[in-house]
């Protein structure tokens, strides 16, 4: 009985292996089919050099690419470092300003009416930065001159990095808006510590903050009125105590 069952089990095992091998070869065939009219392979965004196929560079162009490959790889890493570092600084500032507001400003009896809008805007802009950066990071996938379309890849990378730059700029604006808002409640003092002083900080505030667009649905509640407003506290932003 046991001896009869053995061939059946073996056949079943063979079938299992055969189907998985076929699935893999179909996938690689699909990658190979991704050929343009000129016979080059398109380097997909997430493709690592191994699945990009043979390079579209030949002869002198391939040699020129190989001569610059090390420098390009270094620059790609350097650029990512630069952007990640900037994001780290922006994230830390946003986090610390939010914590400062929640642990020092609010307990002192002051609050921003549009605080939740400002924080939501920061979160939305940060999500855009993260998304753009993830996309840009996935592009190089290990730069190589011998696989895919190296020049096209760098072009795509440039486009993605410019999107990251735009997103970082918007993120910075959102954080600035929060700082300007919080600053209307906390005048600049020589020392540090909990926000003190009168409930109307206009007389003592010496904020150097320049206003930018405020993302709020209640314009009257925005801490800063318009770009023409002086960096000091605007009348509409008097703290609610």
Task: Choose among 86, 97, 96: nearest CA to 179.
Answer: 97
Task: Map the footprint of other proteins across residues 70-99, applying CB under 8 A.
Answer: 71-72, 75-76, 78-97, 99
Q: Which secondary structure element, helix H or strand E, spans residue 162, and what is its range?
A: helix 150-185
Q: Does 141 bind other proteins (CB under 8 A)?
A: no
Per CB under 8 A, which region of 36-44, 46-54, 100-108, 218-226 contacts other proteins? 100-108
Complex with other proteins: residue 37 or 193, whichever CB lies closer = 193
Q: How far is CA 29 from CA 16, 32, 35, 53, 126, in A?
A: 20, 5, 11, 11, 39
Q: Would you count residue 170 as binding other proteins (CB under 8 A)?
A: no
Nearer to other proteins, 24 or 95 (CB): 95
Is residue 38 a contact point for other proteins (CB under 8 A)? no
Q: Which of 41, 43, 119, 133 binds other proteins (CB under 8 A)?
A: 133
Q: What angle do CA 115, 119, 125 make, to 5 degrees?
A: 145
Least gap, CB of 51 to other proteins (angstroms) = 19
Closest by CA position to 57, among listed 40, 44, 45: 40
Closest CB to other proteins among 207 and 216? 207
**Burial class for 58, CB neighbours closer than 10 Å (0-12, 13-18, 19+):** exposed
């Amino acid at each position: 009985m046991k001896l009869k069952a053995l061939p059946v089990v073996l056949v079943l095992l063979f079938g299992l292996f055969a189907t998985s091998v076929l699935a893999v070869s179909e996938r690689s065939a699909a990658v190979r089919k991704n050929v343009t009219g000129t016979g080059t392979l398109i380097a997909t965004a997430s493709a690592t050099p191994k699945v990009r196929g043979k390079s579209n560079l030949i002869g002198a162009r391939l040699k020129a690419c190989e001569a610059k490959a090390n420098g390009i790889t270094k620059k790609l890493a350097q650029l990512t470092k630069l952007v990640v570092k900037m994001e780290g600084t922006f994230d830390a500032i946003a986090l610390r300003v939010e914590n400062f507001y929640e642990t020092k400003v609010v307990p002192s009896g002051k609050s921003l009416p549009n605080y939740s809008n400002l924080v939501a805007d920061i979160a939305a802009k940060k999500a855009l930065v993260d998304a753009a950066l993830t996309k840009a990071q996935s592009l190089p996938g290990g730069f190589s001159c011998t696989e895919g379309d190296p020049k096209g890849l760098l072009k795509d990378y440039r486009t993605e990095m410019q999107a990251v730059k735009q997103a970082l700029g918007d993120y910075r604006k959102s954080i600035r808006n929060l700082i300007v808002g919080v600053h209307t409640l906390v005048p600049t003092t020589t020392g540090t510590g909990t926000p003190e002083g009168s409930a109307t900080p206009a007389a003592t505030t010496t904020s150097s903050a320049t206003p930018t667009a405020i993302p709020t649905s209640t314009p009257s509640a925005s801490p800063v009125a318009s770009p023409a407003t002086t960096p000091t506290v605007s009348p509409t932003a008097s703290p609610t105590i």
